[in-house]
Amino acid sequence: MRIDFETCPARYRHWTLATEGTVAELVLAVDETGGLFDGYELKLNSYDLGVDIELHDAVQRLRFEHPEVRSVVIRSGRDRVFCAGANIRMLAGSSHGHKVNFCKFTNETRNAMEDASAHSGQRYIAAINGACAGGGYELALACDHIILVDDGTSAVSLPEVSVLAVLPGTGGITRVTDKRKVRRDRADILCTTEEGVRGQRARDWRLVDEVVPGSRFDAAVAARAEASTAASDRPAQDSGMMLEPLERHFEPDRVRYGLVDVTFERAARRATITVSGPASGPPETPDAIPRHSSRFWPLELARELDDALLHLRFNEPDITIVQFRSEGDPALVLAHDGFLCAHASHWLVREVSLFWTRVMKRVDLTSRSLLALVEQGSCFAGFLAELVLACDRSFMAEGRFEGDNRPDAALALTASSFGVHPMANGLSRLATRFLGEPEHLERLREETGTLLDADSAAELGLVTAACDDIDWEDEVRLFLEERASFSPDALTGLEANTRFAGPETMETKIFGRLSAWQNWIFQRPNATGPDGALRLYGTGRRAGFDRERV
Amino acid sequence: MSDATAVNYETSIPNNVGLSHDRRVLRALERWHPGYLDWWHQMGPDGFQDSLVYLRTAVDVGAKGWAKFDYVRMPDYRWGILLAPPVEDRVIGFGQHRGEPAWQEVPGEYRAMLRRLCVIQGDTEPASVEQQRHLGKTAPSLYDMRNLFQVNVEEARHLWAMVYLLQKYFGRDGREDAEDLLLRRSGDPDRPRMLGAFNEETPDWLSFFMFTFFTDRDGKMQLESLARSGFDPLSRTTRFMLTEEAHHMFVGETGVARVIQRTCEAMRDAGIGDVDDIEAVRALGVIDLPTIQKKANLHYSLSLDLFGSEISTNAANAYNAGLKGRYREERIEDDHRLEHDTYPVLSLVDGEAVTVDAPALTALNMRLRDDYARDAAAGIARWNRVIERTGIPFRVTLPSVAFNRAIGTFAPIEADPDGTIIARETFEARRHDWLPSPADGDFIASLMEQQTEPGTYAGWIAPPRSGIDNKPGDFEYVRLS
């Protein structure tokens, strides 16, 4: 079964999205029988990937299609339960790879919510009207403001350690300690107490922002939504950007989008993603941007690339190397890049730019070896150059190859290369790349807007190697063959280490530290062995632990 | 001075737990008790706090001590902490610890689970007192009024029993839980009691009798399961609570039986043979049998919800851990571990109710509910014998488990009382054929008038066959102030 990340509100089974004026409500009422796979029922508003795909879609549409929405209330459509978190039977029945991809995707979606709260003037409010456990609390933690009903029973909890012998893998612990800055011993109590923390204590410990009796709950949520609205800079009147269904064609060894083409060489465990530059320049003004996604090149490219990355992660696990190529006129890309930079404060331009940042982070976090091929006729300029900088290795073609009359390969940095699209560590890809040579960044700034040839790009350290037509084919082939021969696990670990030099942020901790531990714990018999807690959950049998501390 | 200082905790609280030497519990009780008395004054029987009530007080667990009768003002009732006598060398009877000595202290790894069991059980006890607090004003006799108050003080004593366990064995968390038990309120939208049926109204005496018959019987089944607990203090506590719970069900069963008896006799005397001639029956000032059936339908279905989901991980965990057993566990012939057994569970598959074999460990709620249904059916049969004796052609029946459910497999669908699955619109259209309508409630309410003369009974209920503590028919069970 191919897992598809395309959906729209009319097709949601688990969420409803309703807007009224400046406030949107996202209501979770999970269809128990609507699991993505067989073998489990989504009880108590627990979720699986299918539920989260809808949330991801809703978050995205709210940003683009609803310029008027300034606050988003997440609430439950079920009585006395907010959300019980990721479905345990689903987790217990999933392959390790699926679990990891699932956790990664849910984290990325939570980050997108925080990104909207921080940068889009669209703040998220969690309205917790009942039990809120595990991933349910992690969902709330991703919101800007948490309101918990004070009814003597409703609690927020992270029961992963005590019940399942795993960790809250969707950023739970990290958001408790780093975002909400909860004292470490209190965080320790929270994470080892199955029933969680409720009422005033939850407020006192900063686990939630407000506790309100049931009779005042709706009023408190409305008041908070109102307050968020006032603080937002989103436009009062503008038409939204319609996110149209993606143009996609699935073939056995190829996925064709309008601007992105993915081809597979399965024997070599290799995929090639080719992105196409724009056919024309940008509109005159932001107001002239066509409000249909398919008609605005940077947005449609980002959407297609995002979908292609998710498809690769979930549906093509055997692909070990992804190589990026591009085709197009770098001058037109630079024109679009300049347009995005010039109008950065316009809400829609800002959304497109923030979306590209998220797509690039998704590239950074894709556990495949990434290679950039900067060839003749390519257009890696401005924000598209981020793709080259995101790769583990990059080769750039030097000069004209025999029998090829396309323009020489060129690479161009712009203002957007210097921090408009930061990585999870908070730095630009250039700053991360030249962490030991901050003065080199100043040198690079001088090249802003210049179409750099292969020699210059290699000289400036922007690509791994420049190769002429004598060396090109062999260099690339040797790299690919060698890479494909290594252990995929070791490569995943290696690349996760080399890609994220520099400071730790909450995001890097979530993806690096937390999920590395979580993945290790997921593999251990204490969780997933025949007597492991996760495996035995729901049978009533008690887990048997190997008591050795490792 | 607050009431607290007037209580000598070391001597005035009947107990067999060595309270006078237990500093930890004494200190906790000193803090909790004033709040408890506030609660009783606020939420206990309304208007009768100064009346003298002929109540049974348990001062000891032995044959002599468990039933001392005397006139008491309810706020002065001696709520005590009484555990059934210890069984020497008691071992755990089921689950993975089967055969090991019963625990006298809480095992750390099961602390959270045990605490939750105590809190949920504890939360139901004050809830029913709250639900019934206005009924004294419409009591059909002093005999019934006294029974109501006896049930109330004993439910409150059951709260004490759980509070004792929480304070003795669960440290600061337990003390906080004990406080919270006094803060929640039945039917309060802001701080409701934990379980649904305990937030429903008990508007009239027929509801009260139905509640004690159906809902207290759930309490009995839960206590029976906890009486098997490997945690010995919980087992001993609940065993003693069961002796009191039996009286509550007696009140319910005989209460409904007396209502039925009165109705049937009135119909017979008036020559009414058609049970569905509701107007004619009501004109006699008695409650017609179809309305009694509707009340039974309502209370049975609400009580079934208290058993939770048919398939339950919590129940499986509690059993395997040796914390909560099955009804009459020791009489069941199997391995008492259930790791490889199955149990038939009525389930909803493709819109039809079918029996599916589920792992026995996860189907324990279903099993307990089946035991409950059998237990309730036996009481219903006794009601029907009352009807038969009068020759009226009617039988009270239990509705299907699929009928009017809010929890479990059948929650998402509607069914008629026979269990036939029907459309929601059909159910709504016929709702008041099967469940009490507001008009039915108004009619019953119109009959509810307080009787305060000793030996006098309201016209809609027959007198009991014998008195409490062998007292004569005109005994003054309550001296109204």
A541 touches chain B (CB under 8 A): yes
For chains A and B, count residue pairs whose Cβ atoms are closer than 8 Å. 52
Q: Which residues of A touch B339 (CB under 8 A)?
A: 541
Q: Could you tell me the two tokens for A40?
A: 């489990």
Binned at pLDDT 50, 70 and 90, residue A154 comes out as very high
Task: State the CB neighbour count (10 A cutoff) for residue B290.
Answer: 16
Nearest CA of chain A to the CA of B306: how many Å? 15
Minimal Cα–Cα distance from A21 to chain B, Å?
29
Answer whether A396's CB lies under 8 Å from A466's CB.
yes
In this structure, the answer to whether residues A307 and A174 fall within a common structural domain is no
**Beta-carbon separation of A150 and B183 below 8 A:** no
Note whether A540 contacts B116, CB cutoff 8 Å: no
**Alpha-helical runs (H) found in B391-480:** 424-434, 438-447
Cβ separation A542–B321 shorter than 8 A: yes
Q: What is the pLDDT of residue B481?
A: 76
What is the DSSP code (8-state) at residue A22? T
Residues in chain B with CB shorter than 8 Å from the CB of A151 are 190-192
* Same domain flag for A187 and A255: no
- CB contacts of A162 in chain B (<8 Å) are 112
Residues A186 and A298 in one domain: no
A213 interfaces chain B, CB cutoff of 8 Å: yes
A253–chain B Cβ distance below 8 A for any pair: no
Kindly determine whether residue A152 and residue B191, on different chains, have CB atoms separated by under 8 Å.
yes
| Partner-chain residue, chosen from A162, A195, A214, that has the shortest CB–CB distance to B189 | A214
Which of A270, A242, A381, A358 minimizes the C-alpha distance to A307?
A: A358
Work out whether the CA dihedral B328, B333, B339, B345 comes out positive or negative: negative
Considering only the beta carbons, identify the residue of A152, A193, A195 that sits closest to B183.
A152
B320 interfaces chain A, CB cutoff of 8 Å: yes
Whether residue A195 lies within 8 A of chain B, CB to CB, comes out as yes
Q: Edge-to-edge, what's the strand order for the sheet holding A71-76?
A: A15-20, A23-28, A71-76, A123-128, A145-149, A210-212
Domain range holding A414? 250-498
Would residue A392 count as lying in a domain?
yes
Q: Is A236 exposed, middle or buried (0-12, 13-18, 19+ CB in 10 A)?
A: exposed
How far does B310 lie from chain A, in Å, by closest CA?
Answer: 13
Bridge partners for A371 per DSSP: A323, A393
The residue assigned the tokens 């001639």 is B277
* Mean pLDDT score, A170-187: 95
Residue of A151, A161, A547 to mutate when probing chain B, most B C-beta within 10 A: A151
Region A81-97 average pLDDT: 92
* Inter-chain touch A542–B320, beta carbons under 8 Å: yes
User: Which residues are CB-neighbours of B340 under 8 A, at least 6 positions away?
Assistant: none
Token pair, residue B372, equals: 């409950």
Query: Would the CB atoms of B361 and A537 count as touching at under 8 Å?
Result: no
Alpha carbon of B316: minimum distance to chain A alpha carbons (Å): 4
Enumerate the domain spans of chain B.
3-479
**What's the confidence (pLDDT) of residue B66?**
76
Whether residue B195 lies within 8 A of chain A, CB to CB, comes out as no
Determine the pLDDT at residue B2: 42
pLDDT > 90: percent of chain A: 90
Q: Can you tell me the distance from the alpha carbon of A374 to that of A413, in angstroms, rounded to the nearest whole number?
A: 14
Minimal CA separation from B359 to chain A, in Å: 8
Asked if B96 and A194 come within 8 Å (Cβ–Cβ), the reply is no
Residue in B190, B338, B361 closest to A151 by CB: B190
Of A82, A92, A108, nearest to A309 by C-alpha is A108
Gap between the Cα atoms of B211 and B214, Å rounded: 5
Residue B316 and residue A540: Cβ atoms within 8 Å? yes
Q: b or e along A461-486 (b: 16 or more beta carbons within 10 Å of the residue's beta carbon)?
A: ebbbbbbeeeebeebbeebbeebbee
Contact (Cβ atoms closer than 8 angstroms) between residue A15 and residue A58: yes
Compare all CA atoms of chain B with the CA of A129 and give the residue at the minimum distance: B190
Picking from B112, B183, B191, the nearest residue to A195 by CB comes out as: B112
**DSSP conformational letter for A345:** T
Among A535, A541, A547, the strongest candidate for a mutation testing the B interface, having the largest count of B CBs within 10 A, is A541
Let me know whether A369 and A469 are in one domain.
yes
- pLDDT category at A126 given cuts 50, 70, 90 is very high
Over residues A107-136, the mean pLDDT reads 97
- Chain B: closest CA distance from residue A549 (Å): 18
Asked if A218 and A309 sit in the same domain, the reply is no
A214 touches chain B (CB under 8 A): yes
Q: How close, in Å, is residue B453 to chain A by CA atoms? A: 43
Domain count, chain A: 2
Contacts of residue B313 in chain A, CB cutoff 8 Å?
537-540
Residue B190 to residue A150, Cβ atoms within 8 A: yes
Output phi, psi for A21, to 5 deg.
60, -125
Which residue of B lies nearest to A192 if distances are taken between CA atoms? B112
What is the C-alpha to C-alpha distance for residues B370 and A540, in angstroms, rounded to an integer?
A: 20
- Closest residue on chain B to A196 (Cα): B112
What does the pLDDT look like over A410-461, one tens digit per residue? 999 999 999 999 999 999 999 999 999 999 999 999 999 999 999 999 999 9
Q: Do B192 and A542 touch (CB under 8 A)?
A: no
- Contact map slice: A 123-182 vs B, CB within 8 A: 150-153, 162
Residue A533 lies in a domain: no
Q: Which residues of A touch B180 (CB under 8 A)?
A: 152
Average pLDDT for residues A12-28, to the nearest whole number?
97
Are B96 and A195 within 8 A, CB to CB?
no
| In-domain check, residue A512 | no
In this complex, the residue of A152, A193, A215 whose CB is nearest that of residue B180 is: A152
Residue B96, chain A, CB below 8 Å: the answer is: yes
Residues A218 and A314 in one domain: no
CA distance B83 to B277: 51
Distance (Å) of CA B203 to CA B43, B135, B252, B261: 15, 8, 15, 22
Chain B residues inside the 8 Å CB shell of A193: 112
Question: Would you say residue A53 has pLDDT above 80?
Answer: yes
Q: Is residue A524 part of a domain?
A: no
Asked if B112 and A162 come within 8 Å (Cβ–Cβ), the reply is: yes
On whether both A325 and A378 belong to a single domain, the answer is yes
3-state secondary structure of A64: helix
Domain boundary among A173, A200, A230: A230
Spatial separation of the C-alpha atoms in residues A30 and A15, rounded to whole Å = 7
CATH of the domain at A342: 3.90.226.10
The verdict on A192 touching B (C-beta cutoff 8 Å) is: no
Task: Please tell me the predicted confidence (pLDDT) of residue B4.
Answer: 43
A542 interface with B at CB cutoff 8 Å: yes
A540/B362 Cβ within 8 A = yes
Query: Is B192–A538 a contact, with Cβ atoms under 8 angstroms apart?
Result: no
DSSP sequence for A413-428? --GGGGTTS--TTSS-
> Which string of DSSP letters, residue by residue, matches A432-447?
HHTTT-HHHHHHHHTT
Residue A186 sits in the same domain as residue A272: no
Cβ separation B192–A151 shorter than 8 A:
yes
pLDDT at A142 over 90: yes
- Chain A residues lying within 8 Å of B190, measured CB to CB: 150-151, 213-215
SS3 content of chain B, % helix, strand, coil (to 5): 55, 10, 40
Residues A194 and A319 in one domain: no
Q: In this complex, do B190 and A538 lie within 8 Å of one another by their Cβ atoms?
A: no
Decide which of A167, A200, A230 is a domain's last residue. A230
Which residues in chain B touch residue A545, judged by CB atoms under 8 angstroms apart?
none
- Using a CB-CB cut-off of 8 Å, the residues of chain B touching A194 are 112
Do A489 and A446 share a structural domain?
Answer: yes
pLDDT tens for the 481 residues of chain B, in order? 344 445 677 677 899 999 888 999 999 999 999 999 999 999 999 999 999 999 999 888 887 777 889 999 999 999 999 999 999 999 999 999 999 999 999 999 899 999 999 999 999 999 999 999 999 999 999 999 999 999 999 999 999 999 999 999 999 999 999 999 999 999 998 899 998 889 988 999 999 999 999 999 999 999 999 999 999 999 999 999 998 899 999 999 999 999 999 999 999 999 999 999 999 999 999 999 999 999 999 999 999 999 999 999 999 999 999 999 999 999 999 999 998 999 999 998 888 889 999 999 999 999 999 999 999 999 999 999 999 999 999 999 999 999 999 999 999 899 999 999 999 999 999 999 999 999 999 999 999 999 999 999 999 999 999 999 999 989 999 999 7
- For B3-479, give the CATH class: mainly alpha
My answer on whether A293 and A217 are in the same domain is no
pLDDT of residue B3: 44
Return the residue of A nearest to B109 by Cα: A162
